């Protein structure tokens, strides 16, 4: 079966970039990306492509090339479903905030809504692709909803989890390590799997397109994120040990990373991993293990989150203790708010938790991030529920550049590893700060000895 028309429900960090790349590589396929969020769709359609709602290096060029040719963004979900041969579900699957599984399980209400809408609109057979990250065996529930609509339409469900990382989404999509497609082994299932393989084969070498059964594919996504996050928590755990033993976590990471069985990637100690997925997906894995009565499995993975929470708190506490045990009324400058560089995404960013801790200690928090606006910073802090909007408006200050943010500060803390922070005139920063001038490098971005040479009281994560 040749796919001619794709619909993607969800125009977010995954749906937007993924569909843009499919449209660019498959000019004969019409790709309709739909979302209920009118504002988001309006931005995707903004005449000036620099205003599209997601900042990813290289993305605006692709959107410019394909938009209104074979790539369309719209709020007309029903029409797009009706026209499509293949429907990607790329909606959000956040951690549940209510009821059974609150704080752990994935909230599948958006997924179910999509399934019900597809079932009510479809008048011909369709391939449904799970692009969102889902608990293992979700396809079973989707099938149950889709197959009981009574209108005789046949649906084939595939699992095609996305492995892109934010900030490198376009490169990750153009040259993926692998594409994973899980499907049923029936004749129809295999045909559906083949149809999706053919879409990716436009640009991905076939030996990088892995096919598995649906459950392996669903579970592999949660597993991949759990393994990646576990590496960060492992090196972060060691960073604390380095600090008390005069070992240097960068040197330790290099020493172990050259072992080809371990490998060098994902061994950067940090102020704690953030992002919309690591925590959510591990909590989901823990919940699934618990629900099967596998308590040791659950406890094992939960430790990754416990360590991450500890790392964020430990960093904030370090700022307070180094500043003579009080930050009350002091100006603390945080450089970076995004959860990593090259993205405007702030979900679960360590900066949010560190700020909350400092505000609780009565500090004034001053923030600069090249891609994050004040409204976002205030609303991220508001979600934690510890301060009112009025309090935050009074005690959180935001800036358009790093130097003004650091001016007259008691301490500067690097929260996100933006390249521009490496290039800052640190001598100038030092000169304009209160003395002793404290510098906390939560990303091991700066040269410790150089900064100490300038005069900073320097704390580099993981350095004794």
Q: What is the DSSP string of 34-74?
A: E-S-HHHHHHHT-SSGGGSSS--TTHHHHHHHHBTTTEEEE
417 is in an annotated binding site: no
Helix, strand, or coil (residue 25): helix
According to DSSP, the residues that pair with 127 across neighbouring strands are 86, 156
35 is in an annotated binding site: yes
Report how far residue 428's alpha carbon sits from residue 454's, in angstroms, rounded to the nearest whole number: 10
What percent of the chain is helix, strand and coil (3-state, nearest 5)? Answer: 45, 15, 40
Q: Which residues contact 317 (CB under 8 A, 6 or more apart)?
A: 357
Half-sphere exposure of 329 (CA within 13 A, CB side): 0
Residues within window 122-181 making contact with ligand UGA, judged by CB under 6 A: 133, 162-166
144 is in an annotated binding site: no
Which residue number, 178 or 290, has a Cβ lying nearer to ligand UGA? 178
Task: Name which of ligand NAD, ligand UGA, none residue 225 binds, using a CB cut-off of 5 to 8 Å depending on partner kind.
Answer: ligand UGA
91 is in an annotated binding site: yes
Which residue number, 7 or 232, has a Cβ lying nearer to ligand UGA? 232
User: Per rule CB under 6 A, is residue 228 in the interface with ligand UGA?
Assistant: yes
Q: Compute the least distance from the CB of residue 133 to ligand UGA, in Å.
A: 6
Catalytic, 405? Answer no
* CB 273 within 8 Å of CB 308: yes
* Token pair 């084969």 in the structure block, residue: 201
- End-to-end, the C-alpha distance of the chain in Å comes to 61
| Cα 129 versus chain centre, distance | 21
Q: Compute the least distance from the CB of residue 177 to ligand UGA, in Å.
A: 9
User: Per rule CB under 6 A, is residue 421 in the interface with ligand UGA?
Assistant: no
Q: Compute the least distance from the CB of residue 391 to ligand UGA, in Å.
A: 27
* The binder of ligand NAD chosen from 3, 6, 8, 10 (CB under 6 A): 10
Q: Compute the least distance from the CB of residue 162 to ligand UGA, in Å.
A: 6
Task: Name which of ligand NAD, ligand UGA, none residue 176 binds, using a CB cut-off of 5 to 8 Å depending on partner kind.
Answer: none
- Return the closest-CA partner of residue 301 out of 321, 283, 275, 327: 283
User: Per rule CB under 6 A, is residue 340 in the interface with ligand UGA?
Assistant: yes
| Cα 269 versus chain centre, distance | 18
* The binder of ligand UGA chosen from 24, 90, 217, 268 (CB under 6 A): 268
Q: Which residues contact 262 (CB under 8 A, 6 or more apart)?
A: 256
Task: Name which of ligand NAD, ligand UGA, none residue 63 binds, using a CB cut-off of 5 to 8 Å depending on partner kind.
Answer: none
Using DSSP bridges, classify how beta strands 86-89 and 126-130 pair: parallel, antiparallel or unpaired: parallel
Report how far residue 456's alpha carbon sits from residue 112's, in angstroms, rounded to the nearest whole number: 54
* CB 456 within 8 Å of CB 437: yes
From the candidates 8, 26, 277, 405, give the one annotated as an active-site residue: 277
- Return the closest-CA partner of residue 167 out of 401, 350, 419, 440: 419
12 is in an annotated binding site: yes
Q: What are phi and psi of 422, to 5 degrees?
A: -70, -35
Residues within window 188-247 making contact with ligand NAD, judged by CB under 6 A: none
Cis peptide before 367 (omega within 30 of 0): no
Task: Name which of ligand UGA, ligand NAD, none residue 110 binds, using a CB cut-off of 5 to 8 Å depending on partner kind.
Answer: ligand NAD
User: Per rule CB under 6 A, is residue 276 in the interface with ligand NAD?
Assistant: yes
Which residue number, 13 or 459, has a Cβ lying nearer to ligand NAD? 13
Residues within window 49-88 making contact with ligand UGA, judged by CB under 6 A: none
Q: Which residues bind ligand NAD (CB under 6 A)?
A: 9-15, 34-37, 40, 77, 90-93, 110, 113-114, 132-133, 162, 164, 166, 276-277
Query: Which residues participate in catalysis according to the annotation?
Result: 277
Bind-site residues for NAD(+): 10-15, 35, 40, 91-95, 132-133, 166, 277-280, 347
The binding site consists of: 10-15, 35, 40, 91-95, 132-133, 166, 277-280, 347
Where does this chain bind ligand UGA (CB under 6 A)?
133, 162-166, 225, 228, 232, 266-268, 270, 273-278, 339-340
């Amino acid at each position: 079966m040749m796919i001619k028309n794709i619909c993607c429900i969800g125009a977010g960090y995954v749906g937007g970039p993924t569909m843009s790349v499919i449209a660019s590589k498959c000019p004969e396929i019409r790709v309709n990306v739909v979302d209920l969020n009118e504002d988001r769709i309006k931005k995707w359609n903004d005449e000036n492509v620099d205003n599209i709602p997601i900042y990813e290096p290289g993305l605006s060029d692709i959107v410019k090339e394909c938009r209104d040719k074979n790539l369309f963004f719209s709020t007309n979900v029903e029409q797009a479903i009706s026209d499509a041969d293949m429907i990607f579900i790329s909606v959000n699957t956040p951690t549940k905030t209510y009821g059974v599984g609150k704080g752990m399980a994935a909230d599948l209400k958006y997924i179910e809504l999509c399934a019900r809408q597809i079932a009510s609109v479809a008048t011909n057979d369709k391939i449904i692709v799970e692009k969102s990250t889902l608990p293992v065996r979700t396809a079973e529930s989707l099938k149950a909803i889709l197959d009981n609509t009574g209108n005789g339409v046949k649906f084939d469900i595939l699992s095609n989890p996305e492995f892109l990382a934010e900030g490198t989404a376009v490169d990750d999509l153009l040259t993926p390590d692998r594409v994973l497609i899980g499907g049923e082994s029936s004749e129809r299932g295999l045909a559906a799997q083949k149809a999706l393989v053919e879409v990716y084969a436009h640009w991905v070498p076939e030996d990088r397109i892995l096919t598995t059964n649906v459950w392996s594919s669903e579970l592999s996504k949660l597993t991949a994120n759990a393994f990646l996050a576990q590496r960060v928590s492992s090196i972060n755990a060691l960073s604390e040990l380095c600090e008390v033993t005069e070992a240097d976590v960068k040197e330790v990471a290099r020493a172990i990373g050259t072992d080809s069985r371990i490998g060098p990637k994902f061994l950067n100690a940090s102020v704690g991993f953030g992002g919309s997925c690591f925590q959510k997906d591990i909590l989901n894995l823990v919940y699934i293990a618990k629900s099967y009565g596998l308590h040791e499995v659950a406890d094992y993975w939960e430790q990754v989150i416990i360590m991450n929470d500890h790392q964020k708190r430990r960093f904030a506490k370090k700022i307070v203790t180094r500043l003579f045990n009080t930050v009350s009324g002091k100006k603390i400058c945080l450089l970076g708010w995004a959860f990593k560089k090259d993205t405007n995404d702030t979900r679960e960013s360590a900066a949010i938790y560190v700020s909350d801790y400092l505000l609780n200690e009565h500090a004034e928090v001053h923030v600069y991030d090249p891609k994050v606006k004040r409204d976002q910073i205030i609303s991220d802090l508001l979600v934690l529920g510890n301060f009112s909007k009025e309090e935050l408006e009074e005690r959180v200050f935001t800036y358009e550049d790093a130097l003004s943010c650091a001016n007259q500060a008691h301490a500067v803390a690097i929260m996100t590893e933006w390249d521009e922070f490496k290039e800052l005139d640190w001598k100038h920063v030092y000169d304009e700060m209160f003395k002793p001038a404290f510098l906390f490098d939560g990303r091991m971005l700066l040269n410790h000895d150089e900064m100490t040479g300038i005069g900073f009281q320097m704390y580099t994560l993981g350095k004794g």
